Structure 1
């Protein structure tokens, strides 16, 4: 007569809460005792609650961001862009050539009021001392002469003849801001390596 096969005894498992090894009573058992089961359930409940709080914060932040006016996003993008321009050009004024000024701005050749479509155009914006930018209204005469020497007459004429209006979207501004932050990081890394 054939002998009936005995079922294999279950393999020991490691408790999901404590490091103890135990022999499970069934295949679904993951903890060694009711005490560990309660503690694991509490731990999972805390994780779930933290995750929900994080999701609620993210949703709140998104709602807050959605009600901010477009001007907020333009200003944030302008800051990132200006930081890149000042890092790119260094401490030299395109209008007067000063290298000893205390503060340098990112001065626009064509102002943002006159040509907002050129607000984030790298050819239109260069490092400029605060005296020329603020007190001399951009010192446009010397700015234009030095700009021609820097980028060439064709590109200056292209800037002066660009009158196509453009309305920025928040998504477009986010992309521009991310691009110039990344360019600034790369520029700073490159400068530190040199």
Structure 2
């Protein structure tokens, strides 16, 4: 049974001392604690506003970037995945001792933009074949036939349907290939 006039003790939000409140909404024990509590709440509110403002600013900056920016960002992650998937073996010359490897496209991104992120169209290739020999397409074609089969190569060669990626699709592709890289690395025991 509650006796009228007696209130249950509360713990002060600032100094953590026990006190008997004068009203049910009182959260601090004294005026000095109330001032400290008010300053802390103001600081938290200012921090929340600053975070929201930074988020809006980042979003505005992202919105004005051209589509080519998002294509390039996605292309980097896709190329990283191709190199991780295939390892250091050139599909054209078979080299395993090259100084660097690229993600070489069978049908170039200039000739077939719709195949830019097609995994059948892109394989690990040494820098010499990809850059200096323009993809070294003769051996690339022969080794590609052996790797993925005739049907899939013909599907690549006959795909001439134009396609334009949206920003949302590119972000989804980038996230997808990041996840695939993480999965490959975890399967191989790499960090």
TM-score, with structure 1 as normaliser: 0.95
Structure 2 CA distance, aligned partners of 1:74 and 1:184? 18
For residues 92-128 of structure 1, give each alpha carbon's deviation from its aligned partner in whole angstroms, at most 9, with x where no partner exists: 0000000000100000000000000000000000000
**Cα offset for 1:26?**
1.2
Structure-to-structure mapping, 1:82-121, within 5 angstroms: 82-121=79-118
Structure 1 CA distance, aligned partners of 2:57 and 2:124? 38
2:38 — aligned with what?
Answer: 41
1:167 — aligned with what?
Answer: 164
Structure 1 CA distance, aligned partners of 2:3 and 2:114? 82
SS in 1 for 2:179: helix
Runs of 4+ in structure 1 deviating by more than 4 angstroms, as ranges, are: none
Q: How many residues align?
A: 189
**Cα offset for 1:8?**
5.8
Structure 2 CA distance, aligned partners of 1:6 and 1:114? 86
Confirm whether residue 153 of structure 1 aligns to residue 150 of structure 2: yes
**Cα offset for 1:10?**
1.1
Structure 2 CA distance, aligned partners of 1:39 and 1:183? 50
**Cα offset for 1:188?**
0.6
Confirm whether residue 69 of structure 1 aligns to residue 66 of structure 2: yes
**Cα offset for 1:6?**
3.9
1:20 — aligned with what?
Answer: 17
Structure 1 CA distance, aligned partners of 2:62 and 2:88? 35
Structure 2 CA distance, aligned partners of 1:18 and 1:92? 66
For residues 27-61 of structure 1, give each alpha carbon's deviation from its aligned partner in whole angstroms, at most 9, with x where no partner exists: 11101111111111101101111111111111111
2:126 — aligned with what?
Answer: 129
SS in 2 for 1:123: helix
TM-score, with structure 2 as normaliser: 0.97
Give ranges in structure 1 of 5+ residues lacking alignment.
none
Give ranges in structure 2 of 5+ residues lacking alignment.
none
**Cα offset for 1:139?**
0.4
